[in-house]
Amino acid sequence: MEHKEIYSKIIAGTMTWGSWGKQLSTSEMSDLIISCLDHGITTFDHADIYGDYGNETEFGKAFAQSGVDRASIQLISKCGIQMARGRDNAVKHYQYDKAYIIWSAERTLKELQTEYLDLFLLHRPSPLMQPDEIAAAIEILVAQGKIKQFGVSNFTPSQIALLETSIPVTANQVEFSLTHNAPMLDGTFDDCLANKRMAMSWSPLGSYFREENAKTGRIKKIMQPLTEKYDVDESQLLLAFILKHPVGIYPVVGTTNKARLRASLDATKIDLELQDWFLLLEASQGQRVP
């Protein structure tokens, strides 16, 4: 099954919708959900930890208020990170025993007010994870119809290979942008492409707008003529850069600004020329390709 048949090419990241960011009200969240759908963004990315374990609850209320048909959207969530705030934990850690994975998935379903997740991810790899234990949990959740697909986030190819000794892995969501392009050089995207694994990018704009350093300075010099050439803004070019990769990356865009969400979707239409792509890469790396 092709990923394009399931998920929207731009995924709405919900991490900053709640207490970790914009603190949207239920009505504001509901309005944003509807606005996303109006512009063709149908996939929403969650994690249990967002908003100190509170975002899913708030989104669930907004989803119910919106009246949106569940079949018209796709919900992604993640589990496994146990934080030292929001829960009674002495230390931040990862937990992937069978009982916890099932409990976490069921909690997410309850909070999101849905009967199933389209995609359920392990949030970060643990040195102590046991493939058979994880597989046992996922197989139960799939058999019960509570999750449709299983994937991971922030995993290396070898960590995925370890899991796949017991269970297939459909997707990998990793940090990837023009300013953080390691996944296309360290084998992460090679693994996705070779195994037809869905590749998602969190923080797809990278540090471009957050930091002023030699790297972002070089990129900005290249950006000016390119924004004029393609008649787009810098954010759209940053997305166009990662969208050109042959693995078919799905950017997880975290803005709550409706205009910027629309602009992100328009970035999927940019046909970035080969040499312009390498000009951007060269600016990021500070040297010509070997």
CATH number, residue 206: 3.20.20.100
Residues of the chain with pLDDT under 50: 1
The reply to whether 284 falls in a domain is no
The reply to whether 222 falls in a domain is no
The reply to whether 279 falls in a domain is no
**For the CA atoms of 279, 280, 281, 284, what is the dihedral angle to 10 degrees?**
120
Mind listing the pLDDT tens digit for each residue in 154-202? Answer: 999 999 999 999 999 999 999 999 999 999 999 999 999 999 999 999 9
The reply to whether 100 falls in a domain is yes
At 3 the pLDDT is 58
The reply to whether 76 falls in a domain is yes
The reply to whether 148 falls in a domain is yes
At 130 the pLDDT is 98
At 274 the pLDDT is 98
Query: Are the CB atoms for 70 and 109 separated by under 8 Å?
Result: no
The reply to whether 221 falls in a domain is no
3-state SS assignment for residue 181: coil
Question: What are 187's two structure tokens?
Answer: 């084998």
Q: From CA 29, how far away is CA 272, in angstroms rounded?
A: 33
Query: Are the CB atoms for 50 and 282 separated by under 8 Å?
Result: no
pTM: predicted TM-score of the whole model, two decimal places: 0.96
Query: Are the CB atoms for 265 and 234 separated by under 8 Å?
Result: no
φ, ψ of residue 207 to 5 degrees: the values are -95, 10
Catalytic site residues?
50
H or E stretch at 200: strand 198-202
Contacts of 98 (CB under 8 A, 6+ apart): 133, 134, 136, 137, 140
Range of the domain at 206: 3-213+234-271
Q: What's the domain count of the chain?
A: 1
In Å, how far are 85, 94, 126, 275 from 159, measured between CA atoms? 27, 15, 9, 34
The reply to whether 288 falls in a domain is no
Q: Which of 167, 259, 231, 240 is nearest to 201 (CA)?
A: 240
